[in-house]
Structure 1
Amino acid sequence: MRTAPRAAGVGPARRGSRLRPGEGRWAQALLVAAALAAALAGLHVTLQGLSWWFVGTAYAASVLLAAALTRSLVRSAFWPPIVSLAAGVALLTLGYAADTALLGIIPTPATLARFGTLVNSGVTSIVEQRVPATPELGIVLLIAVLMVVCAWAADLALATRHPALIAAPLAAILVVPMAIKPGLADAFWYLVTAALYLAVLRIGRRRDSRRVVLVTGGILVLGSLLLPYALPGVDARDAPRVSGLRTGLNPLISLGDDLRRGDPMLALSYTTSAQEPVYLRLTTLETFTGETWGPIVGSAQGGDLTRFPAPTGLGGATPYDEATVDVTVSDVITNWLPAPYPTTSVTGLTGEWFWEPDGLTVRSVETGARGQRYQASFLELAPTSAQLAVATSRDAPAGTLELPDGVPEIIPQTAHAVADGAASSYDKALALQTYLRSEPFEYSEQAPVDEGFDGSGMDALAVFLDRKVGYCVHYASAMAVMARELGIPSRIAVGFQPGDRQFADGSNVYSVSTDDLHAWPELYFDGIGWLRFEPTPGRGAVPDYGTQPVDDPNTPQDESSPTPSALPTSATDARGDRDETPQTPEQLAAQQGASALVSLGVLAAVLLVALTPAGFRAAVRRGRIRRIRQGGDAAAAAWEEVRDTARDVGWSAPESETPRTFAARIAAELGAEGAIGAFRGHVEANAYGRPDAAALSPAELAAVRREILRSADLRTRLRAFLLPPSLLYRWRPDDR
């Protein structure tokens, strides 16, 4: 017997049929967010730490969440891309330039200028550093921008029902390690990203046309061929060098290669009024990870170069002489300024420069040191033997005594064997310096490379102390680590040793070449501060206090200077109870960049709280849909969901009303019977009809819910989503 054909959309859903628009939207968004996060994780081979990954993932998830929420509330296809892009821009502004924006999130011309400064800083850091690079603020901003753009493009691919195009933004992220250095990519994260991408296609259940697949494939092939040439290289060894010495954020990493580069070139020249040759520092490294030494990133900076703060730890009883050095920089390509320690002022520079308070190093965001001519005033410290004999290291600056776990046994054994017999901290420091400068230690730039222990990490230091051959990186790192083992705070300075002296025009002129790039340790003593030591044999100059004997402080000789000079003081109108250092754009950006994760965390917490009722309502709906699919109590589950949807938009839906009466009243509200009439008939058939009656379909329920929700205005739909009244109904029996 022939049966009447079913109305479209009323019959049971066939297994394997294509999902209707809107179904699986949230699952796809979650999978896309996971795929973007996996692709970003592949950059771990190029960047240190994990903070950059959390930031980038949070920004991508925020854009996708904004798009999905907008699409749930507004049926127009125009608004979701606009809202999601606006959300990404607002969050970037909040995280990195809130002080320049209206209400902290609406960009202004000053915001664009701030972003330009930070982007230039990030690009400069990428060019200068080697992998794995330190994620400076500018680099993290570039990652955040990349993830916002890729998430937005991926959402557009979902909205246009071409999920295969999501491969393009994923590839834009995955190609970064290969663009930096061939073979650098981590295959594991490629496989994870590919698996998640296939899951997105599976949920979409849409076969893209052959034309779309061909266009996507062509874009990926061309991108993989051309993008490596467009992106700057991180590893300076793989990047073409221009003439001169290029130093990055951590010059220690590339110091050995720079010393082995071949014919030396003039880096800079200087004249000085100091009594001793001058060491010119680029940066100081205080953080020791066990693999290498690194700078402290993101500390506050000051822009007034005419007045530096007093050096850390220097007391009023320590004698010093004031001196100046006039420097002309030739072929040094860096954003660090070669300067002595401790610098008190710098004049004559062009561009924007800032000092860093802990190490008193000088750096720029956009301006380079090459071609600069300037004068730096500084202090020549001359601590007395009596001071050095009693100096302790109890008030160590934070982090300057820390050592990672797993120190090779040879390092503490050597430190204690050399220095345990010394009477004071200073005597221990001298003992370490003398040990490293004496036979059988030898200076060699090539031996560590040939024998496979080049570097400043724990394993390299263990081999160095056993083989007793290396260059300044090994000697400086070994003395600094052994000093920390003995309880003496330490750090490493990287810059230039004094160079060659020539007499010209009635004064001494020092010529510093690229071969004079050098690393040395600085040790901290209470009341004196940081003092330079020179453990590398055949290099540099040992300071006077590094060779003088330390006398008993109880002897009658008076070894102090008759009239110690006064320490630099702050300006007369400065407030002692607050920091009145002018805030620079980089300082403000650093402060806000440090709080980017906090801002995103607060936003995520607020969203989580706001979406909690919606989550409960969605869980209830999923449970009913599960009952419909299982068929055990499909009619009751379907009618419960329709009633709750009506309650969510403010309609009455008493339990005493029969489905037929309720459907008739709802049809009158809607102005047409539409899907509600067919749905009511199908529910009655399932509830009272023959056992072999056609099963209810979740698609029918979705069609009825859409008709009810579309009948309400945007404000009502928003309330129905965020604060659905149906959740309260079960706890308010009086309304039933």
Structure 2
Amino acid sequence: MRPDPAPLSRGQRLALTAASFLLLVVATMALGPLIAGSGWWWLCAFIAAGTLFTGAGLRSIRTPASLVPVLELVALLLLLTLVFGGGTSIALIIPTQSTFEVFGELLTGATRTIEQQSVPAIPVPALTFALAFGVGLLAVLTDVLVQTVRMPALAAAPALVPTLIPGFIIEAGADVPTLVLTAAAYLLLLRVDVRVRRRATLAADPVGDDAATVVPPARVPIVSTLGASLGLAVVGLLVASVLAASTPSISTSLLLGSPGQGNLFARGVSPFIDLGRDLRRPEASPAFHYLAREADRPYFTLLTLDRFEGEVWGATESSVDGDNTVDQLPRPVGLSDEVETAEHPIDVIVDDVRTTWLPVPYPTTSIEGLSGSWFWDDRALTVRSVDTNTGGQRYRANRLVVEPTVSQLRNAELPRSAEFDQFLELPEEMPAIIGETTAAVTAGASSPYDAAVAIQAFLRSTAFDYSTEAPVEEGYDGGGFDVIAQFLETKAGYCVHFASTMAVIARDAGIPARISIGYTQGTPTQERVNGVQRVDVDSHDLHAWPELYFDGVGWVPFEPTPGRGSVPDYSRPGAGEAGTAPVQSAAPATPGAADRSDLDPDRGLANPSGGAFGADTWWVRGSLLAILAVVILLLPAALRLGQRITRHGRMRRGERPADAAWEELMASARDFDAGGDVAETPRALAAHLGERPAFAAGPQRDALVALRDAVERERYGPAVTGPGGARLLDELALARSALADDATPVERARATFMPHSLLERARALFGERSRVGA
């Protein structure tokens, strides 16, 4: 590197360093839409200042130009050690082998958090380390271009790096004000360079080949250089704006999304648990729909978060195993043969969601019909692809339905294997309210299962409200320790806060816990495919829920979020044998929390202390339950009576009275198990009923024949007036009484309270469907 023909003074070098620093820190502001808060920016400014001004100091003591960049890299290493090295360094700034191991872990963690977080990302240590390291390298490059090579115009290249990155992440790209400020800083750098270069030329002795033939004035006119500087700045601004605006964002790529929205949740799914934006969107975006047996309404898991670093939950990174193909998935970890299981197929058709994680119920035994390469993860049995995404996929997931009993869960022991230690890890320091809540809620629990149910009941109590707005308004959105502490005080949040809180409290109580990210059951529609009801799932069904581990049962899902999803039967307070209800929580109710929206389908799952009834009004709850049971018992009889009254009304009004009478006779025959198949003709049914003892002779037989003749005449004969409605009512009453006389008391009771004709009709409308393609 040849020296500058007009050497710069210390002051001039310092002016260029200051201008370079300003350009770099202003350009770094372009990352603001991607990262929450401003602490990360101040750290980057500190690293940039330390690196650049170290170079200025080295030049002031006449360090060889070729050594300055190397020593600047050393200064960068010392600064990173000071900030991130912690106890692994010597005298806080001298790195050791352990320091480099920490740096390696931080870089690996940075890659993971970039993959798993949405924007704006939480600046966890791994992410801030990557930012600081990157800005430090850009600072060294900028200093080389401006000070060593003496080509400051090329400083636009390192400045463009942070300004272009937003264009790859969000559709809006960098903010326009930031681009303008960056262009202004670039203009200032060029202006400073021109001024110091001219002043250095004026100060140099005019001798040798570089001597000027005309001695310039002692003062450089400002106008002489302003035009060129402005022109270069305008060009830089235009180039930066065009590049930032035209750069494709990840949200419009096939990796994480599809065109249309400006955030990663628009039609793709971020694996991080910040689901609030999609839940707050006024209009839901379709994700997928599925066809399943009537009782199959599972949650669909995308991925599982098992690492908690105090500020954010994350998924442990693991490489894809080419042998883990989805044609056969292993049995879930910890599930013993004593737990009852069943396998049910579910057909899934993806609509608009685009993600490399496949929505599948946990656990799943096999998946059929996928295009591309899909593999299951060894740890959580989640499914992901290495060469495609969910766009346009149609597949069948064979779901393994696990049905543990309360006694199996209550008798389950906590795992003692070291492999579950990671599911108990918590940072050493945490807010006191978390430990206090754990102690209060689980006090007196006789088993880990009872403690888990008590935690769920505490969070679902009327002390807490479901709200997607409160965390944003109060500034505690997310899933970290501080957020959980504020959530426990404010008692308002959505699934992220409830799931994170239950998982942390469970870990604090010694129960292994993790968080699943995916979708709730969705919304059934009126559409049917081959007789199977279609269920739609959209972005408003995005959900987070905790899973706790019990030996012999495996990972068991819980639902602590009020008003969302469904609560598993085994986790409901009072489930199991009498006298084994979960521990009651003594947490005080939040004023006004009892006015929770009726959208919560499980408000009654709250602890009695937080409900509207006290312990001394147990008889009120018992009476209500008894009345409800009676109503349910009498409902079929009431519906059947209403059906009979409707047909009698048709007969009295003369609206095809014979047809109405015959429909009622067929329904009565089915109720008494005496025939009445819809495929039977009136003559065939009359012949069949005529063989019964009650129709052997007398008015009952005459009534049956009269009803048969009337309906045949009305359906197939000429349009002549038949028997009147009053007469048909009398004959129908005789025929029904004959059917009742032939039935046993049990059959008569069953015909009244559980009429077969009504149940068969209900099964035809809402009963079990055959699978697609059957």
Matched, 1:470 2:489: no
Aligned-partner SS, 2:303? strand
Rounded Cα–Cα distance in structure 1 between residues aligned with 2:116 and 2:524: 33
Do the aligned residues in 1 keep the contact of 2:356 with 2:390 (CA within 8 Å)?
Answer: yes
Q: Measure the CA separation in 2 of the matches of 1:184 and 1:525.
A: 54
Q: Does 1:263 align with 2:283?
A: yes
Q: Which amino acid aligns with 1:541?
A: S
Instruction: Provide the secondary structure at the position in 1 that maps to 2:439.
Output: helix
Structure 2 counterpart of 1:433, from 437, 446, 456: 456
Structure 2: distance between partners of 1:131 and 1:323: 40
Residues 499 and 180 of structure 1: CA distance in aligned 2, closer, same or farther (over 3 Å): same
- Alpha-carbon distance in 2 for matches of 1:128, 1:372: 25
What CA RMSD, in Å, does the superposition of the two structures yield over aligned residues? 5.7
**Match for 2:493: what amino acid?**
G
CA contact (8 A) 1:154 1:169 kept: no
Deviations along 1:292-339, one digit per CA (max 9) or x if unpaired, are: 32333x421234222334433334544422222210111223332211
Match of 1:394 in 2: 416
Residues of 2 paired with 1:139 and 1:404: CA distance?
19
Q: Quote the Cα distance in structure 2 between the aligned partners of 1:404 and 1:184.
A: 39
Determine if the alignment matches structure 1 residue 229 to structure 2 residue 245: yes
Checking the alignment, whether the CA contact within 8 Å between 2:285 and 2:352 is kept in structure 1 is: yes
Residue 169 (structure 1) aligns with: 158
Name the CA distance, whole Å, in 2 between partners of 1:417 and 1:345: 42
Q: CA deviation at 1:429?
A: 0.5
1:256 shift after superposition: 1.7
Aligned to 1:280: 300
Residue 517 (structure 1) aligns with? 542
Which residue, 340, 357, 362 being the options, matches 2:361? 340
Q: Residues 325 and 144 from structure 1, CA distance in 2 versus in 1: closer, same or farther, beyond 3 angstroms?
A: farther
Aligned to 2:234: 218
Equivalent residue number for residue 6 of structure 2: 18
| Aligned AA (1:479) | M
Is 1:322 the counterpart of 2:343? The answer is yes
Per the alignment, residue 679 of structure 2 pairs with: none
Rg comparison, structure with higher value: 2
**Is the aligned partner of 1:446 residue 2:434?**
no
Aligned CA distance change for structure 1 residues 35 and 264 (closer, same or farther; 3 Å) = closer
Residues 93-128 of structure 1: CA deviation (Å, up to 9, x unaligned): xxxxxxxxxxxxxxxxxxxxxxxxxxxxx9x97899
Q: Is the 8 A contact 1:177 1:185 kept in 2?
A: no
Matched, 1:300 2:319: yes
Separation of aligned partners in 1, 2:115 and 2:576: 47
Q: So what's the TM-score if we normalise by structure 1?
A: 0.52
Mapped pair 1:182 → 2:175? yes
Q: Corresponding residue for 2:273?
A: 252
Q: Distance in 2 between matches of 1:151 and 1:310?
A: 53
Change in 2 beyond 3 A, CA 1:224/1:549: same
Counterpart in the other structure of 1:628:
none
- Return 395-404 or 203-212, whichever deviates more: 203-212
Secondary structure, counterpart of 2:395 in structure 1: strand
The CA distance in 2 between the partners of 1:393 and 1:486, in whole Å, is: 13
1:370 maps to which residue? Answer: 391
Deviation at 1:152, TM superposition (A): 8.2
State the 1:148 CA deviation.
Answer: 9.6
User: Percent same amino acid among aligned pairs?
Assistant: 37
Task: Report the counterpart of residue 635 of structure 2 in structure 1.
Answer: none
Q: 1:365 and 1:146 mapped to 2: Cα distance?
A: 31
In structure 1, distance between residues paired with 2:189 and 2:332? 54
Are the counterparts in 1 of residues 156 and 186 from structure 2 also a CA contact under 8 Å? no
Partner SS for 2:349: strand
- 1:522 maps to amino acid: E
Question: Are the structure 2 counterparts of residues 242 and 528 from structure 1 closer, same or farther at C-alpha, using a change threshold of 3 Å?
Answer: same
Distance 2:344 2:564 in 1: 23
Moved more, 341-350 or 425-434: 341-350
Question: Larger deviation: 240-249 or 199-208?
Answer: 199-208
1:411/1:161 Cα in 2 relative to 1: closer, same or farther (>3 Å)?
closer
Match for 1:454: what amino acid?
D
5+ residue gaps, structure 2: 9-13, 53-64, 68-110, 202-219, 581-774
Contact residue 522 and residue 532 of structure 1 kept, 8 A:
yes
Determine if contact 1:352/1:366 at 8 Å carries over to the other structure: yes
Q: Residues of 1 paired with 2:479 and 2:422: CA distance?
A: 18
CA contact (8 A) 1:129 1:234 kept: no
Task: Tell me how far apart the structure 1 counterparts of residues 24 and 334 of structure 2 sit (CA, whole Å).
Answer: 45
3-state DSSP class of the match of 2:297?
coil
SS of 1:399's equivalent in the other structure is: helix
Q: 2:569 aligned to 536, 544, 554, which one? A: 544
User: What secondary structure, in the 3-state scheme, does the structure 1 residue paired with 2:245 have?
Assistant: helix
Deviation at 1:287, TM superposition (A): 2.4
Query: Quick one: distance in 1 between partners of 2:502 and 2:181?
Result: 39
1:119-138 to structure 2, matched below 5 A, reads: 129-132=118-121
The one-character-per-residue Cα deviations of 1:440-486 (angstroms, maximum 9, x if unpaired) are 33323333334444332333333332333332222212211111111
CA-CA distance at 1:229 after TM superposition: 1.3
CA positional deviation for 1:149:
10
1:639-695 Cα shifts (integer Å, max 9, x gaps) = xxxxxxxxxxxxxxxxxxxxxxxxxxxxxxxxxxxxxxxxxxxxxxxxxxxxxxxxx
**Aligned CA distance change for structure 1 residues 222 and 386 (closer, same or farther; 3 Å):** same
Q: CA deviation at 1:19?
A: 4.2
Query: Could you give the per-residue CA deviations for residues 222-244 of structure 1, whole angstroms, max 9, x where no partner exists?
Result: 2343333134567999x951899
Code of the residue aligned with 1:292 in structure 2: it is V
Partner of 1:626: none
Instruction: Give the deviation of 1:72 after TM superposition.
Output: 8.3
- Distance in 2 separating the partners of 1:337 and 1:463: 33
Unaligned runs of 5+ in 1: 1-12, 21-26, 62-70, 74-121, 555-736
Q: Distance in 2 between matches of 1:411 and 1:140?
A: 29
TM-score with structure 2 length normalisation? 0.50
- Alignment partners' CA distance in 2, 1:143 and 1:232: 25
Amino acid at match of 1:290: G
Q: Distance in 1 between matches of 2:311 and 2:123?
A: 13
Distance 1:366 1:185 in 2: 36
How far apart are 1:534 and its partner, in Å?
A: 0.8
Distance of 1:33 and 1:358 partners within structure 2: 48
1:711 is aligned to: none
Matches within 5 A, 1:27-106: 46=34
Say if 1:230 and 1:349 are closer, same or farther in 2 by CA, change over 3 A: same
Instruction: For 1:225, give the aligned amino acid.
Output: S
CA gap 1:412/1:202 in 2 versus in 1, 3 angstroms = farther
